[in-house]
Chains A and B, each alone.
Chain A
Amino acid sequence: QHRHLLELLKRTTVHGESNSALIIGPRGSGKTALLNHVLKELTEMKRVRENLLEEDCQFFLKNNFLSGLLQTNDKVALKEIIRQLHLENVVGDKVFGSFAENLAFLLEALRKGDRTSSCPVLFILDEFDLFVHHKNQTLLYNLFDISQSAQTPVTVIGLTCRQDILELLEKRVKSRFSHRQIYLMNSFDFKQYIKIFKEQLSLPAEFPDESFAQKWNNNVQHLSEDKTVQDVLQNLFHFTKDLRSLHLLLMLAVSNVTVHHPLITASDLHEASKQYRMDSKANIVHGLSVLEICLIIAMKHLNDVYEGEPFNFQMVYNEFQKFVQRKAHCMYNFEKPVVMKAFEHLVQLELVKPIERPSVRAQREYLLMKLLLDNNQIMDALQAYPNCPTDVKQWAASSLSWL
C-alpha cells in the first residue's frame, strides 16, 4: 500500500496528473502515519521539491490538510482552503466574501493554470465521512470535479474509518471519483505482534548513553521471551489488534520507570494491563451506598421476573419494602423520600436511564426506566463490595424471592 500511494503522489507532482483516492481502515490502523511517511519521502526526492507547493514549515500542513473534525461546514472548509493556499483576497488572515464568491474564485484560480506553468496541489481530507454529511456535498463535488477536468493537477486523498463510505457519496460525486481505494487492515498475527512490541520498546541506536541502551535492549529481549508477558500480550491481542492500545499499555508501564527502578519488569506490565482492563461500571457500583445497592438488586429481580420490561420507581420501592419487611434484620425501613433521593442519585450516575424524556405532566415516580447493568456485572460487583450485609447478599442470590 505504501508503494501504491507513493506512486500516486509522484505521478501528480512530477508528471502533473490529477487523481483521487480514498484510504480506508479501522481506527488506529495507521492511515495518518502512512500518509505522513509517504509525504516525507516525497519531499525528499529532489525532483519533486521544485514542483510542490510549499506552505509552511510544519510537516503536517505542507499541503492542504483539512480535517473533518475541524471543518464542519463547507463554508469553513472553503475559508480554510483559501487561507492555506495564501490566495490573493486573504487580507491579514481574514477571509471575506460569501460562500459563492469564494468558491468561484477558488475554481477560477485552480482552473486557469495548466500543466506546465502551475504547481500541483494536494488536498488531504481527514475524517472524510464527516465531509460527506455536509449539505449537498458541494465541496466534495467541486474538488472531484477539478481533479477530473485536467487543468491544474490536483490530487484529493481522503482518510476515513467507515467501510461503507462509497454508499454515502451522492451519485454525481461518486461518478467523478476515481474509485481508487487503499485498504489498511491490521492483518498481522501474534508473532509479528511480539516483534512489534520489542521494536517499540527498544531504544534506538542514537541514544547517548551506550551502556544503558545496551542493558535496556537486553531487558526488552528478555521480557519478550517471558511467559507471563506473553500472556498479557496475548490477552490484549485477542481483544484488539490495533497498535494504539499497545502504545497505551506500554506507556503506562514505562511511566513507572524512575531512577530507582530503571528497567521494566514483568510485574510492571502486569499492573499496567490490569489497570487498562478494569471494568468501569463495576468500579462505580463499588462506591454506592447500601441503600442504593438494595435498589439495584430490586431492579435486578424485577428484570428477571418481567423479562427485561421497563420499570418505574414505584415498583422498585415495592420490592424493596417486601425485602425489608420480610427478610432484613439490618436494614432500617427508610422513608420514601430518602429512597427517592438514592434512586435519583442512580439516575444521575446513568446506571438507570429513563426510556423517554421526563415531561412536566408525568409524575417522577411513574416514569419508566431501564437498568443499564447486566446481571453478571451486578453479581460480580457484589462479591467485591466491602462490608456488604449478608441479608442483602442472600437476597441478591435468591431468585423469585417474593414468592
Chain B
Amino acid sequence: MPNLEHPAYPAATLLHLESLVPCRESQVSMLLSIFGERQQFSFPSIFIYGHTSSGKTYVMQTLLNTLQLPHVFVNCVEYFTSRLLLEEILIQLQSYSETEQTSHVPCDTFNDFVRLFKQAVASRELEDQTLYIVLDRAEQLREMEVNILPGFLRLQELTDRNVTVILLSEIVWELFRPSTGCFEPFTLYFPDYSIGHLQKILSQNHPPEYSADFYAAYINILLGVFYMVCRDLKELQHLAALNFSKYCEPVVRGEANERDTRKLWKNIEPHLKKAMQTVYLREISSSQWERLQRDDGEPGQLKGLSAHTHMELPYYSKFLLIAAYLASYNPVRTDKRFFLKHHGKIRKTNFMKKHEKTSNHLLGPKPFPLDRLLAILYSIVDIRVAPTANIFSQITSLVTLQLLSMVGHNDQLDGPRYKCTVSLDFIRAIAR
C-alpha cells in the first residue's frame, strides 16, 4: 500500500492520517498532490463524487483537520437557501480572524458575499495559505438561485484570492452543468469499497471481549447475506451492531465455543433473514429489534410499520373498497361478462388470476365514475342494498383515508370519479 509522503507536511502527521483512512490511500495521495504546499494555488474548484457512504465527507474532514489547513465546511442540505449558505460561510470565516467574536453578518446576494469575503480574508493573519471551502451534498446547489453554482466554481477568479472550492456529491457532474456552460472543475471519483475493503473496515469495530477472528467470521456471514442487496457502509455497520449480540448467544450460553461456525451459522441465519425484512427496511426501530431479541419470542410476531396499515373497516366499506378495486383494474367491457346474473357468484380470487395482461396491473388504477362503483357493489353484495346516505358517506370516508382518491374537479358535470389506491395484498387481507 503506498505510503503518503509529501514534503510540506511532517511524516508523523501523514502516518496518523493514513491510519485514520483505511482503503482510501490513493485518493488521499491524489488530493495531497493537488493541494500542494500551503501557499500554492490549486485548482479553483474540485468536484468529488462517489456512492453513498463511500467516505467522501469523512476523508475530506479528516484530511483538513489532521493537516490543519484553513477550511470552511458547510452542508448544503442544512443551509438550503443561498442566503443561509453564504452567511454561514462568512460566520465560519470569522473564526479564523483573531480579533472579533462571531457576529451576524447579513449577506443577501452573491455580490455582497464576494465583497465581504475579500474583507474577511484580508483580516486574517494566515493570509497566504489556501483557504478551502467544502460544500457537502452539493446537488442542492442546483435548486438554489441560478448564479450560485457558476459563481462558486469561479470564486478564485472573482475574488482574486487563494481559495479553492470543493464540492462533494453523489450525482455525476454531467447532471450539474448549467445550460450555457461554466468553468469546469476537476472531477475526482471515490470508488466504492470492494467486498474485501468492507470486510476490513467493518472488522475494525470489533468489541474488545471477543477476538478479531471471531468478529471477522461474523462479518463474513453478514456480508454473505446482505452484500447482494446493499453495499452501503453505514447500513451494514448498523446491521452488524444490532445483530452481534444474537450471534454471540450460543457462546454466551455455553452451547458452542468460538470456533463452531456451523452452529453459529444455523443460529443466526433465520434471524438475519428476518432482519432484512424489518430493520433493513426500517419498518421497526432498532430498539424494538433489540427488545425482541432479548425476549427471544417467536419471530413471526414481528409487526412492522406496514402491518399497521391493515385496518379493520366496517362491513359495507369493505365491499365498497373491493368494488372500487375491481372497477379500477377491470376494463369496462368485461363488467358485463363478470357481473351479470347467469355467471353466478364468482369468487373474488378468480378475477385476480385472470388479469395477467400487462396493461391493467402494471399501469396502475384507472378512474371510474360513481355509478359504475355502485353497480358493481350491488352485484357483489348478496342482500339488497339501498343507496342511502350511509353508503355515500362511507365512500367519502374512504377518500379521506386515502384508500380511494378523487380524480378531477369537484364540480364536474358527470358526477365524481374515483380511483382505488390500494394494492392487491391489502384487498386480499380485507377479503378475509
Contacts and interface: CB of A to CB of B under 8 A. Distances in A.
Interface string A52-63: 000000101000
B171 A350 contact: yes
B277 interface: yes
Interface string A222-256: 00000000000000000000001100100110011
Name which of B172, B230, B421 has the most chain A CB atoms within 10 A of its CB. B172
A76 B171 contact: no
B187 A287 contact: no
A362 interface: yes
Interface residues of B, number: 64
A289 to B, nearest CB: 5
Interface string A300-326: 000000000000101100100000000
Contacts, number: 142
Given A245-B184, A318-B362, A342 B145 contact: no
Interface string B320-354: 00000000000000000000000000000000000
- Most B CB within 10 A of own CB, among A69, A80, A386: A69
Contact of A338 (B160, B277, B361): B277
The winner among B114, B229, B419, B421 for most chain A CB atoms within 10 A is B229
Interface string A134-170: 0000000000000000000000000001100000000
Contacts of A335: 277
Contacts of A383: none
Interface in A350-402: 350, 361-363, 365-366, 386-387
A280 B229 contact: no
Most buried by B among A70, A245, A258, A315: A70
Given A161-B180, A287-B231, A76 B170 contact: no
B185 to A, nearest CB: 9
A337 B306 contact: yes
A314 B110 contact: no
Given A161-B181, A335-B277, A289 B229 contact: yes
Contact of A289 (B54, B111, B230): B230
B36 interface: yes
A350 B170 CA distance: 9
Contact of B231 (A26, A161, A289, A349): A289
Contacts of B171: 349-350
Interface residues of A, number: 61
A286 B191 CA distance: 8
A170 B130 CA distance: 44
A350 B175 contact: yes
A26 to B, nearest CB: 8
Contacts of B277: 335, 337-338
Contacts of B175: 350
A71 interface: yes
Contacts of B283: 337
A314 B361 contact: yes
B364 A366 contact: yes
A285 to B, nearest CB: 10
Contact of B110 (A70, A129, A387): A70
B211 to A, nearest CB: 28
A218 B387 CA distance: 97
Given A287-B50, A291-B229, A280 B172 contact: yes
A61 B283 CA distance: 59
Given A251-B43, A315-B362, A338-B280, A71 B160 contact: no
B189 A314 contact: no
B110 A72 contact: yes
Contacts of B110: 69-70, 72
A27 B228 CA distance: 44
Interface stretch (B146-154, B245-253, B287-295): B146-154
Given A60-B160, A69-B110, A338-B277, A291 B174 contact: no
B360 to A, nearest CB: 11
Contacts of A76: 109, 111
A27 B111 CA distance: 22
Contacts of A1: none
A181 interface: no
Given A286-B191, A287-B54, A361-B405, A162 B184 contact: no
Interface string B154-178: 1001101000000000111111000
B281 A338 contact: yes
A76 B107 CA distance: 13
B362 A314 contact: yes
B109 A72 contact: yes
B288 to A, nearest CB: 17
B392 interface: no
Nearest to B112: A76
Interface string A161-202: 110000000000000000000000000000000000000000
Interface string A32-44: 1000000000000
Contacts of A290: 227-229
B111 A70 contact: yes
Interface string B395-407: 0000000000101
A112 interface: no
A49 B364 CA distance: 75
Contact of A70 (B158, B228, B362): B158
A289 B228 contact: yes
A291 B172 contact: no
A73 B112 CA distance: 13
Given A70-B111, A72-B109, A280 B173 contact: yes
B103 interface: no
B108 to A, nearest CB: 9
A212 B346 CA distance: 93
Contacts of B170: 348-349
B364 A312 contact: yes
B9 interface: no
A136 to B, nearest CB: 19
A283 interface: yes
Contacts of A259: 7
Contacts of B49: 280, 284
Q: Which of B173, B231, B283 has the most CB of A within 10 A?
A: B231
Contacts of A366: 363-365
Nearest to A278: B189
A280 B184 contact: no
B189 A289 contact: no
Nearest to B36: A255
Nearest to B356: A318
A32 B187 CA distance: 24
A345 B51 CA distance: 10
A280 B227 contact: no
A32 B157 CA distance: 11
Given A70-B109, A289-B227, 18 more contacts: A26-B181, A69-B154, A69-B158, A70-B158, A130-B147, A161-B180, A244-B184, A256-B33, A258-B7, A258-B33, A280-B172, A287-B50, A290-B229, A291-B228, A314-B364, A338-B280, A348-B170, A366-B365
Q: Which 10 A-B pairs have the closest CB atoms?
A: A287-B192, A366-B364, A280-B172, A70-B111, A287-B51, A255-B33, A290-B228, A27-B181, A315-B362, A314-B362
6 contacts: A70-B114, A72-B109, A281-B172, A312-B363, A342-B230, A349-B171
Interface of A: 26-27, 32, 58, 60, 67-73, 76, 80, 129-130, 161-162, 244-245, 248, 251-252, 255-256, 258-259, 278, 280-281, 283-284, 286-291, 312, 314-315, 318, 331-332, 334-335, 337-338, 341-342, 345, 348-350, 361-363, 365-366, 386-387
